[in-house]
């Protein structure tokens, strides 16, 4: 169910065996939260979902190599980019050399340390205050510059994994857009995919599974019978499916309770790459204004257009934009960009006359961006989220850690494939025992 990275990985070109596979996809495209917008007339694109690939994500890179996709460097930082916080404007390189330039009210022992250095000392807000003995200014610094302010309520483990991942020194991006990955998968599995097919009910029996789905033209749900089912929808989307018999108490509670972060991307298409006049080539600017993080392109287009991620927010920061109209969102980021770059707002408005906005919290299929555990959710729900329910198995970034990455979704699919393969090859008596155990 679904053409998320987890599904595509499970039925990859390297899969062996004679299984007959059917993939039901509610939308009209493959990729799920991998989404790239292409303007084919003017020759530009922008990734509205994943946009960077850490060097240590080996599974994704294996498929990138297999599919002969090209990579180019993704520049996460640039010394010429800007910080605009506490009404102080300084180059990123200056802040790196002298973090105190931003004038956060710090203890003497905290001065001269970057937000990352302070954060590495400890990863929990309460510990930062009580045990870490960090000042309120240091906590504000960590929250503003590392975007932890929007997710301080998240679990220690979530924060730790996120910090480790974003401490990665090198990133790449898929040349031409991240959608090239699922699109290439689709070339191998296109005969097995039904688009506009929304699953509404799953009947889990001892010897088979019946899946009912709403097709594009059907007046009543259609049905298909299978030996096993793999669900790769988000937790919120999965709750729209009726299961018979009902899911176990642990599974249902986990799907209902886990926390999803919102994420919003506001993109401007500019006829002048005004940031390059300041020596900025990729990287990001940081501000405590609503836009929060501005990402400059790590690639150019033959047309000369510049596509800038004028605001990338997640967690509580993304919720700021959720109720705003697209016009108001653009107006806010134009004002922030004008302050960051010290140019007239009407100038940026004149050279950046096209925009794209993606609010993942409002996406009708994912209903959120990615899972971000709150305290105790790792212990309480991790096992229940990936545990199969009889012949119904589950995969996707919600079922493994660290959340929010394509790599995690793919690894979860490998685990699901192994579990299904093990169930198929288990002795009949063991199969029945497992089915009964996982349906209770």
Q: What is the pLDDT of residues 2-52, one digit of tens each?
A: 666 666 665 555 554 567 899 999 999 999 999 999 999 999 999 999 999
Q: What is the mean pLDDT of residues 200-220?
A: 94
**Regarding predicted confidence, which is higher, 5 or 335?**
335
**pTM, whole model, 2 decimals?**
0.88
**pLDDT band at 232; cut points 50, 70, 90:** very high
Counting DSSP H helices and E strands in the chain, the numbers are: 16, 22
- Indicate the CATH number for domain 260-362: 3.90.660.10
**pLDDT band at 150; cut points 50, 70, 90:** very low
Identical fold for domains 5-34+179-258+373-438 and 88-166, yes or no, is no
**pLDDT band at 278; cut points 50, 70, 90:** very high
Q: What count of Cα atoms within 13 Å lies in the side-chain half-sphere of residue 236?
A: 16
pLDDT mean across residues, the chain: 89
Q: What is the mean pLDDT of residues 124-151?
A: 62
pLDDT at 110: 82
pLDDT at 310: 99
**Regarding predicted confidence, which is higher, 48 or 123?**
48
Q: Residue 352 and residue 364: Cα distance in Å, rounded?
A: 28
The tokens describing 143, both together, are 């929250």
Tell me the domain boundaries of the chain: 5-34+179-258+373-438, 88-166, 260-362
Angle at 359 between CA 221 and CA 325, to 5 degrees: 110
The tokens describing 230, both together, are 């793999």
Is the pLDDT at 121 greater than 80? The verdict is no
CATH class for domain 88-166? mainly alpha
46-49 long-range Cβ contacts below 8 angstroms, 24+ apart: 46/177, 46/267, 46/307, 46/309, 46/356, 47/173, 47/177, 47/178, 47/179, 48/265, 48/267, 48/356, 48/358, 49/178, 49/358, 49/360
User: Where is average pLDDT lowest: 164-168, 226-230, 365-369, 400-404?
Assistant: 164-168
Q: Residue 339 and residue 378: Cα distance in Å, rounded?
A: 41
Is the pLDDT at 210 greater than 50? The verdict is yes
Q: What is the mean pLDDT of residues 309-316?
A: 95
User: Where is average pLDDT lowest: 96-100, 193-197, 228-232?
Assistant: 96-100
**pLDDT band at 87; cut points 50, 70, 90:** very high
Question: The CATH number of 5-34+179-258+373-438 is which of 3.90.800.10, 3.30.420.340, 1.10.287.1080, 3.50.50.60?
Answer: 3.50.50.60
């Amino acid at each position: 169910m679904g053409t998320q990275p987890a599904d595509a990985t499970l039925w990859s070109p390297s899969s062996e065996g004679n299984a007959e596979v059917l993939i039901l996809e509610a939308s009209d495209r493959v990729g799920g939260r991998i989404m790239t917008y292409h303007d084919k007339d003017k020759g530009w694109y922008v990734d509205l979902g994943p946009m960077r690939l850490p060097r240590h994500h080996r599974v994704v890179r294996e498929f990138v190599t297999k599919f002969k996709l090209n990579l180019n460097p993704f520049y996460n930082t640039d010394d010429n980019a800007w910080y605009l916080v506490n009404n102080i404007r300084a180059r990123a390189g200056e802040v790196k050399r002298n973090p105190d330039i931003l004038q956060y009210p710090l203890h003497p022992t905290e001065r001269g340390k970057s937000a990352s250095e302070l954060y590495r000392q400890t990863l929990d807000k309460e510990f930062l205050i009580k045990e870490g003995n960090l000042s309120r200014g240091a906590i504000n610094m960590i929250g503003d510059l590392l975007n932890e302010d929007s997710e301080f309520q998240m679990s220690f483990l979530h924060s730790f994994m996120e910090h480790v991942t974003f401490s990665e020194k090198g990133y790449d991006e898929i040349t031409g857009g991240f959608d090239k990955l699922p699109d290439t998968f689709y070339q191998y599995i296109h005969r097995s995919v039904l688009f506009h097919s929304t699953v509404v009910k799953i009947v889990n029996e001892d010897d088979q599974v019946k899946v009912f789905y709403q097709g594009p033209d059907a007046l009543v749900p259609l049905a298909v019978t299978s030996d096993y089912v793999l669900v790769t929808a988000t937790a919120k989307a999965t709750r729209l499916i009726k299961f018979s018999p009902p899911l176990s108490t642990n599974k249902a509670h986990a799907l209902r309770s886990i926390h999803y972060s919102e994420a919003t991307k506001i993109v401007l298409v500019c006829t002048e790459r005004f940031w390059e006049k300041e020596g900025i080539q990729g990287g990001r600017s940081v501000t405590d204004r609503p836009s929060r993080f501005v990402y400059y392109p790590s690639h150019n287009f033959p047309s000369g257009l510049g596509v800038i991620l004028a605001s990338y927010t997640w967690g509580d920061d993304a919720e700021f934009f959720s109720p705003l109209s697209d016009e108001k969102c653009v107006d806010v980021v134009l004002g922030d960009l004008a302050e960051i770059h010290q140019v007239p707002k009407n100038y940026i408005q004149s050279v950046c006359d096209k925009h794209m906005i993606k609010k993942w919290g409002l996406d009708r299929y994912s209903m959120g961006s990615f899972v971000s555990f709150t305290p105790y959710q790792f212990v309480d729900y991790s096992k229940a989220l990936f545990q199969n329910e009889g012949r119904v198995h589950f995969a996707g970034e919600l079922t493994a850690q660290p959340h929010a990455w394509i790599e995690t979704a793919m690894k979860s699919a490998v685990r699901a494939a192994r579990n299904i393969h093990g169930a198929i090859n288990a002795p009949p008596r063991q199969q029945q025992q497992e089915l009964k155990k996982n349906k209770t």
